[in-house]
Amino acid sequence: MNAHSLDAIIHAPGRLQICALLASSSEAEFATLREAIGVSDSVMSKHLKLLEEAGYIVARKAAYNGRQRTWISLTPAGRKAFVAHVAELNRLASSSLAAGSREN
């Protein structure tokens, strides 16, 4: 990704939300993420698969309260990509706001 481009993997609303949630914690459980973004298990799995294939997340399975759970965390590459994506969104928003204020 160059300095002025959006990351197509992260840009989809569900994946952007997942990355934002993971950026503020060390890891999150699958069901917690799924409920936070309001999608089905299958949609959540598809989002996570794309993020994992890009090297942006890692999943680990662990027993919790007697049940197998999946925990998700951002990789260093995922964190870097998310920060760059948000920076580009901010740059675009700032330039749009600046252009709009010049027109008035």
pLDDT 10s per residue in the chain (104 long)? 455 789 999 999 999 999 999 999 999 999 999 999 999 999 999 999 999 999 999 999 998 888 999 999 999 999 999 999 999 999 999 987 666 555 65
- Classify burial at 25, counting beta carbons within 10 Å of its beta carbon; exposed 0-12, middle 13-18, buried 19 or more: exposed
- Show the CA angle centred on residue 45, arms to residues 43 and 48, nearest 5°: 110
Owning domain of residue 56: 8-98
> Please, what's the b/e burial string for 30-53 (b: 16 or more CB within 10 A of its CB; e: otherwise)?
beebbeebebeeeebeebbebbee
Residue 103 lies in a domain: no
2 is a domain residue: no
Task: Tell me, yes or no, whether 93 lies in a domain.
Answer: yes
Question: Global pTM?
Answer: 0.86
